[in-house]
Amino acid sequence: MGSERLLAGRKKIGLALGGGSARGFAHIGVLKVLEEAGISPEIVAGSSMGAVVGALYSAGVPLPVLERLAAYSRRSLWTDWTFPRMGFLAGDRLEQLLLLLTRRKTFQELNRCFAAVACDLCSGQRVVLRDGVVARAVRASAAIPGVFRPVEDEDKVLVDGSVVERVPAPTARALGADMVIAVDVGLYLTNQKPQHLLDVISQSLDVLQRDLCRYTLVEADIIIRPQLAEIAPGHFHRAAEAIRAGEEAARKELPHIREILCGKEHHAQVT
């Protein structure tokens, strides 16, 4: 493990955590395996659920605590129904939960460089959030269109970062990462029928992002793809399964990660 820590120190490692609602719990499993291997990313970029997990990790919340939180997660913790002018959920309860878990930290107070990716509906542009209170930025990054009310920031109306960069590998690279490990928790365009509103919206976004995602993943050196086809975006009760899938996928990619850290050439396969 000590030699791996030394090798990891030679390259600035960036981690790009993608969106995927409940499937995003797989990020916890990936982080567990990387931590066990002594691989500690200096840069973390997240979209949507990837921003949630990435922010808590960067704020110093221990992975065992994250795993327990995921196991006992219930929609009642973050759902606050509102009159659906711009979203069925206000998002205030989610923000309060994030404030509590991150201890109201700003980006400058985090343990590592972290960025949350959002989309500005007014300009249609990607917005990389790196200033101010972390919880507010993550709330914007996780604002699934039609589900959560957008976050208004001066002249911007911010929604889920997955709209423009579902797996934020380009953002991690732009922040200075020499090596980018991307975690893609899924585009599963199967015959699975949506069960409720979150599934309908999430699966619709998956269809829209099918081709866009290929371009963002070009910036990744390693792509970790947990197998989550059986877990729908709204299956928050299956967090433990998603975490295990993340662990399994990360372990498969460890040899490739070590190759790059040792200076050997490796090309991620984008499909």
Say which residue the tokens 């006992």 belong to: 72
How far is 248 from 89, CA to CA, in rounded Å?
A: 34
Residues ≥6 apart with Cβ < 8 Å to 46: 16, 17, 52, 53, 54, 55, 114, 115, 116, 117, 138, 141, 161, 168
Active-site residue, selected from the candidate residues 160, 184, 206, 221: 160
Q: DSSP 3-state assignment of 64?
A: helix
Runs of H (alpha helix) within the chain: 2-8, 26-36, 49-58, 63-71, 92-102, 134-141, 162-165, 169-174, 197-209, 212-217, 239-261
Alpha-carbon dihedral sign for residues 23, 102, 119, 125: negative
229, amino acid identity: A
Q: Is 73 a catalytic residue?
A: no
- Containing H/E element for 115? strand 113-120
Query: Which two tokens mark 60?
Result: 């110093």
- The yes-or-no answer on residue 202 being catalytic is no
> Catalytic one among 21, 48, 58, 141?
48
Residue among 256, 263, 260, 258 nearest 3 (CA): 258
Residues labelled catalytic: 48, 160
